[in-house]
Structure 1
């Protein structure tokens, strides 16, 4: 097979492994519109949060961390005093950079007015009589006080999210101005990135993360300049071949570091990203296209080899900042070069000897139909594209914090503004689902507001009418499974027959052969049902996902202990499979009007929990599924069956963190 054909085959393999342009566009569009929405709604919030790292760039590797940058909204970092004229000092605390004694890419942060919040002041030290924010103290305070269940990892506080995913939160400060020490970068941008991207990057300024240079004079007090936002814009500016080259380098370094202890991992993903940036800007390859993907990888690899040989990896924005200075030197440097050079001498074929990379490359090389197909539009079907979009929407659609009716109104106003503005194609369905989620949550919050106060009957009647209207409205543009929020509300307000009517309707919709839930949907049935329709229509008629119950809102009284346990363990809410919730609600409602049907619903629930093979109940949600079965069994007086179910719940993966509630239920039975 010709070299060119092999390169094209690698391109196809990477599209299938990392994503086609449509996959990547979906991932970026969804995060971008959500972040824009949240920033507009919470423009006066104490903190600002930004998704960063590989998730933001468009990668979805199974073991990827979730990276976030968090900064105080009312603080701004300046490079000189003249910039202070642009701020109202009553609403912003100003910090001044002092780079006089710091290595390139690092700075001290000076508080000239010595006025700040308690958290910032508690992180300050005196240097030559002036007050500076210590990076080490700030990192410790944000890690141990703000996030007590996290640990320090570099400049970040690290921990685990729901589903077992690891996160890195970088608590930082922001500057609206581009660093003077990075001014040479703009002069280099003749061929790449485009001028509009350069302007956007410079206008966006930079951040400062809480870690100093190990060889600097003030290692515990310095802050590192972070160009994470600029890097995200540069990755967005790549064409898909460049993006896949970057992805291939990430896969390479992950494999290269496999089995090494942390101290031995001298190369990291950030070095790979830097190599790609330099290779693209230096125009080493005339045309980055599928036929040249391996050539592009080889250029980046040789650049990396050169840096290791010289012991100098220049930061893309501030080349004087040698990112190898701390680690890559002496014996470690020589050993690293020997290893990399040994791979270099094997030629590009060494990639085929790398297990995690060769597996999917060989799949394509052995499949002639895929090998010649570099048109990414033919690599992904309508069903696959829809699944990627709806999965991404589900993952990102968290219930907003501290939601209430006024905040709901604010969300709706911002959504209306955004819908009238130019939006990318995948952003509309994300806005649609987030709006449904906000309305659903607000409907229950409104009900609780009047239930927990001494309002008169007329006020409660009006609030109830509004809540019902909001839930029915949300169901018109949410998932099929969102009908269960209406059923929960009717059960909560003792309208059991109305709840059962909604449950019956939901049963019919969830039983559709073309429904997209967890299992691979039948492409023909799905296409027959909704093929060619808008994503809005598909979402409402052919898509179901797990139900999310926010901890600070009571949806079903019987699940209150589980929500409390979930909250105590720093989870934001319960995740319940729709089929489990449907049978539970049917059982609860029928107990009051039809005992025979109640027993049938319990039997259906028991069969589902005992015998489902991950089709309707994902393995990570078996904890809550066994718990719900136990609750229903206990309500019928079947103590032995309930005890067995609760014990089974404790043996499952603790996604929902309901162990405390389960143990209390077991104690109550004894």
Structure 2
């Protein structure tokens, strides 16, 4: 007996609700997505206010910024010089002080839609910009191809050119794209039609905010343009982020489903060179569908209808060979790739999936098992509220992980540190979300720690006793204060400061307290936590309390600052490879500091600390050290070398060299290995 249309509709609504719950599990609930966005937003807001006029602005963009944490997704960074500005018309130059701002003029009348030439109008002090200048028609232009090549590896060494970006991987785990670009404070005329189209979505406040913040230009030309090596592409990354934030959660999850559909079904068996569709096409597709109000009600019951509407639009685009850019529709995103026989093959592939209907989603490795479970147990995933999927522990884990990831300080300058604290103070008087307040709390702790070590190094160099005394008195209070409202692991910065200033007993007192806290069964370390014990101990308490009593993260060292003399060679080696920071597992740092301090007080207890460190490094199964094995073996080797156990030290250094080079310390390890070999008595 066949189902009636009403029964089929009811079945589709039920499947959509179930898929909504599945995607909340895979992509994230609305609260998780808010945590990811808001912690990044507030940190970036602070960074922009602190960055000097001649500094470089960094912005996380792409799917990571939008709130996705899908497995295998890359992280996109955009960088631009703060004192360079692109203008669209010469009259806009009156808004800038050319004494401290380099002006660049966008000339797009000869370029294809969405692309432009950038003419350098005033002198620049940036070496990369100077080197990328070419002369055409008696005017000076910045060549995108030269600039891209020059900046490709300035952030991460050994990056390779990929589109407008430098690409590579961090620790062999996270892939990244870094795009060096220029910013424009004005909305381009070629995108003005978008403003007129915005009747229903996004709202007028969002549109005003987008237009007020202008756009960027990334270093890649149109492959069919007359000046492909000199042209730059308009980038609307900021605008796209704000449009994604203007989506409701059902729309965002549909966008996530499109990304999974692309990665796990359409592009599953294709190598990088054969992929015609990318996630940017999926984003463009859902933007158009939402704006055109094709589906009036975006709700859990309609999620699969929304996906199918997007799929049909995508199929139409591939058939016609036209994918209109959302902001500049005249810019056909398919022009250089989706045409001819390749276009035909892609259309046939998508049409085969289309003929299967929603069953095509069974080919997705991420959601196949969920769909099968729903088919066999129809009521399995139907719940009244998405919030029921996640517990308090889940949200705490997400929040503290994101805070640790974003709330870092990028300066070794005392003036900038003071500016950080002043900026945080100002922001605390403005409207903030609960996630942003706790992020600022951790950021303040990081600034205080950084300032203490900067102050100490400054006045150690001067050698003036009175200044050193005053600086030390002030400096000592900073890591003390940070330890009172940072993570449990932040207490180790105070121990480091005491060790640095030869206060070994004070350092050991802090280490003992930290050791007790780190030994608690309810401790949340990175993303590892005993859920029941954590809930019993700190459940229902404020995030500030939880952070101070029950959360530990790895220790971040900025390589231009000396925290521990014994690690200077490693920090210098990392800096030579443009590695600005070092991450040391918190338990490795604990035993390392304990060993160093006891060396001056009690050799028996010093050996006991070394034994604990050795057991940890040799036998850890990824719980406490995870990917940071190169530095962990290195630290063990340093301790063994100090005690005179040269054979053990040599083995540890050799082990460090076989690990993935997360920290780029091979030069230091090889030098230490050589020292050990030369010091070993010959038989």
- Interval containing the TM-score (normalised by the shorter chain): over 0.9
Are residue 599 (structure 1) and residue 607 (structure 2) matched? Answer: yes
Q: 2:194 aligns with which of 174, 178, 185?
A: 185
Equivalence for 1:198: 207
Q: Could you tell me whether the CA contact under 8 Å between 2:102 and 2:123 is conserved in 1?
A: no
Equivalence for 2:633: 626
Query: How many Å separate the matches in 2 of 1:514 and 1:144?
Result: 42
Query: How many Å separate the matches in 2 of 1:538 and 1:590?
Result: 31
Are residue 314 (structure 1) and residue 321 (structure 2) matched? Answer: no
Equivalence for 1:648: 655
Q: 2:510 aligns with which of 498, 502, 515?
A: 502
24-33 or 210-219: bigger deviation: 210-219
| Secondary structure at 1:277 match in 2 | helix
Query: Shift of the alpha carbon at 1:250?
Result: 0.8
Query: How many Å separate the matches in 2 of 1:652 and 1:63?
Result: 21
Q: 1:666 to 1:133 in 2, by over 3 A?
A: closer
Equivalence for 1:387: 397
Structure 1: gaps of 5 or more residues = none
337-346 or 493-502: bigger deviation: 493-502
| Secondary structure at 2:394 match in 1 | helix
Are residue 210 (structure 1) and residue 215 (structure 2) matched? Answer: no
Query: How many Å separate the matches in 1 of 2:524 and 2:31?
Result: 19
Query: How many Å separate the matches in 1 of 2:416 and 2:386?
Result: 42
Equivalence for 2:118: 109
68-77 or 273-282: bigger deviation: 68-77
Equivalence for 2:73: 64
Q: Could you tell me whether the CA contact under 8 Å between 1:17 and 1:360 is conserved in 2?
A: no
| Secondary structure at 1:631 match in 2 | helix
Q: Could you tell me whether the CA contact under 8 Å between 1:172 and 1:207 is conserved in 2?
A: yes
Q: 2:84 aligns with which of 67, 75, 97?
A: 75
Query: Shift of the alpha carbon at 1:440?
Result: 0.4
| Secondary structure at 1:459 match in 2 | helix
Q: 1:250 aligns with which of 259, 276, 287?
A: 259
Equivalence for 1:297: 307
Query: How many Å separate the matches in 2 of 1:190 and 1:263?
Result: 39
Q: 1:173 aligns with which of 172, 182, 187?
A: 182
Equivalence for 1:543: 551
Query: How many Å separate the matches in 1 of 2:451 and 2:331?
Result: 50
User: Root-mean-square deviation (CA), in Å?
Assistant: 1.9
| Secondary structure at 2:599 match in 1 | helix
Query: Shift of the alpha carbon at 1:501?
Result: 0.9
Query: Shift of the alpha carbon at 1:436?
Result: 0.6
Q: 2:477 aligns with which of 431, 455, 469?
A: 469
180-189 or 268-277: bigger deviation: 180-189
Query: Per-residue CA shift, 1:347-368, capped at 9, x if unaligned?
Result: 0111012223313444566676
Query: How many Å separate the matches in 1 of 2:339 and 2:511?
Result: 66
Query: Shift of the alpha carbon at 1:280?
Result: 0.4
Q: 1:415 to 1:363 in 2, by over 3 A?
A: farther
Query: How many Å separate the matches in 2 of 1:408 and 1:591?
Result: 34
Query: Shift of the alpha carbon at 1:387?
Result: 0.3
Q: How many residues align?
A: 667
Equivalence for 2:538: 530
565-574 or 379-388: bigger deviation: 565-574
Q: 2:625 aligns with which of 617, 629, 639?
A: 617
Q: 1:447 to 1:643 in 2, by over 3 A?
A: same
Query: Per-residue CA shift, 1:13-68, capped at 9, x if unaligned?
Result: 11111111011001100110011000011142432221111111011123222212
Query: How many Å separate the matches in 2 of 1:367 and 1:603?
Result: 53
Are residue 16 (structure 1) and residue 54 (structure 2) matched? Answer: no
Query: Per-residue CA shift, 1:570-590, capped at 9, x if unaligned?
Result: 222221111111112212211
Query: Shift of the alpha carbon at 1:481?
Result: 0.9
Query: How many Å separate the matches in 2 of 1:135 and 1:615?
Result: 45
48-57 or 88-97: bigger deviation: 88-97
Query: Shift of the alpha carbon at 1:132?
Result: 2.1
Query: Per-residue CA shift, 1:267-313, capped at 9, x if unaligned?
Result: 11011000000000111111101111111000000000000001111
Q: 1:645 to 1:146 in 2, by over 3 A?
A: closer
Query: How many Å separate the matches in 1 of 2:637 and 2:131?
Result: 49
Are residue 328 (structure 1) and residue 335 (structure 2) matched? Answer: no
Equivalence for 1:608: 616
Equivalence for 2:561: 553
Q: 1:123 to 1:612 in 2, by over 3 A?
A: closer
Query: Per-residue CA shift, 1:472-521, capped at 9, x if unaligned?
Result: 01101111011111111111222111111111111111111111114642
Query: How many Å separate the matches in 1 of 2:535 and 2:374?
Result: 27
Equivalence for 1:35: 44
Query: How many Å separate the matches in 2 of 1:592 and 1:74?
Result: 51
Query: How many Å separate the matches in 2 of 1:616 and 1:131?
Result: 55
Are residue 667 (structure 1) and residue 674 (structure 2) matched? Answer: yes
Which runs of structure 2 are paired with 1:97-496 in the superposition (5 Å)? 97-112=106-121, 117-143=126-152, 149-162=158-171, 164-255=173-264, 256-362=266-372, 371-373=381-383, 375-404=385-414, 406-455=415-464, 457-496=465-504
Q: 1:325 to 1:334 in 2, by over 3 A?
A: same
Q: 1:654 to 1:263 in 2, by over 3 A?
A: closer
Equivalence for 1:636: 643
Q: 1:596 to 1:229 in 2, by over 3 A?
A: same
Structure 2: gaps of 5 or more residues = 1-9, 678-683
Query: How many Å separate the matches in 2 of 1:579 and 1:147?
Result: 28
Query: How many Å separate the matches in 2 of 1:121 and 1:463?
Result: 41
545-554 or 91-100: bigger deviation: 91-100
Query: How many Å separate the matches in 1 of 2:494 and 2:375?
Result: 51
Query: Shift of the alpha carbon at 1:147?
Result: 6.3
| Secondary structure at 1:481 match in 2 | helix
Q: 1:173 to 1:506 in 2, by over 3 A?
A: same
Q: Could you tell me whether the CA contact under 8 Å between 2:488 and 2:552 is conserved in 1?
A: yes
Query: How many Å separate the matches in 2 of 1:287 and 1:322?
Result: 29
Query: Shift of the alpha carbon at 1:203?
Result: 0.8
Query: Per-residue CA shift, 1:112-167, capped at 9, x if unaligned?
Result: 45777543333222332222222222222222677663221111122333564222
